[in-house]
Amino acid sequence: MLEVRNLHAGYGRVPVLHDISLTVGPGEVVLVLGGNGAGKSTLLRSIAGFIKPTRGSVLLGGRDITGQPPEINAREGLRLVLDGHRVFPELSVADNIRLGAAVRADGGDFETLAGPVLEFFPILRTKLKSAARDLSGGQQQMLALAQAFVARPAVLLCDEPSLGIAQALIPPILEFLRNWARQGVAVLIVEQQIDVALSVADRALVVERGAITLAGTAEELKQDRRVQDIYLGLTGTS
Ligand SMILES: Nc1ncnc2c1ncn2[C@@H]1O[C@H](COP(=O)(O)OP(=O)(O)OP(=O)(O)O)[C@@H](O)[C@H]1O
Ligand SMILES: [Mg+2]
């Protein structure tokens, strides 16, 4: 369970986020929408510990982790997958996955940990020995998710998983996140592919100029014209 209470954060003296509150429960997929520069990535980075909030708090399973370094958060079950399908390019696919499991205190055997994700993305299994740099953008995104998956976090934050990948791979990648949540993980996704992302989300919220301006169930937001307007640039979000 992730809880964010009245969070404020920014860069140096420049404030970006204003009074953000949200919760993501186990099994839930919550989507963060918003135009370029609205503060979506800043929100995920502040939750994950890469940016120290100036006010407010972040709770993981009811425990206050505000300002705690990201590597400790990762060990405690809060994981951020950055945008741009970042993996270790020189390492093999298998080693990239093993690195993900390294945060686990108990180690755990590769097949048990990685089996389910390799089943969902069988292409990764055929490339376990390939260097990650030889994968396509979409395959690298699958790998970034596999790396996070084997760490078995309780809360997963995922920044624009569709960024820079082939259109055909976007639905399966979002479907993977939906499935993952079904195992009891709390999933918070930033996405600009609103239609497909709303179809896998339970709830969604819109961030404009660092504040939440709209929130509701995915069904409600699908019907809300303001959501479409944001992406057509009609509300001038940045
Ligand atoms: N490292 C940084 N230092 C200073 N300002 C930053 C930094 N990163 C982002 N910003 C600023 O913070 C604001 C929010 O940026 P952020 O990256 O969170 O937006 P975003 O909603 O993720 O946008 P995008 O859709 O382009 O990914 C923007 O005004 C941006 O210029
Ligand atoms: Mg961003």
- 49 or 233: which carries more pLDDT confidence? 49
**pLDDT bucket at 232, cuts 50 / 70 / 90:** low
Identify the residue whose C-alpha is closest to ligand 1 atom 28.
37
What's the pLDDT score for residue 108? Answer: 77
Dist. CA 193 → ligand 2 center (Å): 13
The whole domain housing 44 covers 2-232
pLDDT digits (tens, 9 = 90+) for 140-182: 999 999 999 999 999 999 999 999 899 999 999 999 999 999 9
Query: Mind listing the pLDDT tens digit for each residue in 89-145?
Result: 999 999 999 999 887 767 678 999 999 999 999 999 999 999 999 999 999 999 999
**pLDDT tens digits for range 180-201:** 999 999 999 999 889 899 999 9
The CATH number that applies at residue 209 is 3.40.50.300
Which alpha helices (DSSP H) does 121-238 contain, by range?
Answer: 122-126, 137-149, 170-182, 194-200, 218-223, 225-232
Whether 184 is in a domain gets the answer yes
Mean confidence (pLDDT) of the chain: 93
Q: Confirm whether 76 is domain-assigned.
A: yes
pLDDT of residue 95: 96
Buried b (16+ CB within 10 A) or exposed e, 73-112: bbebbbbbbbbebebeeebbbbebbbebbebeeeeeeeee
Residue 237: is its pLDDT beyond 70?
Answer: no
CA distances (Å), 202 to each of 25, 67, 78, 178, 211, in order?
11, 28, 20, 9, 20
| Closest by Cα among 128, 138, 124, 47 to 85 | 138
Q: Give residues whose Cβ lies within 5 Å of ion ligand 2.
A: 40-41
CB count within 10 Å of CB 168 equals 8
Q: Judge whether residue 84 has pLDDT over 80.
A: yes
Mutual angle of helices 93-101 and 137-149, in 10-degree steps = 30
Residues in the chain: 238
Q: Cα separation of 200 and 203, whole Å?
A: 9
Answer whether residue 193 is part of any domain.
Answer: yes
Q: Is residue 79 part of a domain?
A: yes
Residue 238 resides in a domain? no
Tell whether the model's pLDDT for residue 26 goes beyond 80: yes
The verdict on residue 102 lying in a domain is: yes
Ligand nearest to the CA of 32: 1
Residue 171 is classified by DSSP as H
Residues with CB under 6 A from ligand 1: 11, 14, 16, 34, 36-42
Percent of the chain surpassing pLDDT 70: 96
Q: Is residue 105 assigned to a domain?
A: yes
In this prediction the pTM is 0.94
At residue 85, the pLDDT reads 86
Domain count, the chain: 1
Q: pLDDT at residue 3 above 90?
A: yes
pLDDT recorded at residue 207:
95
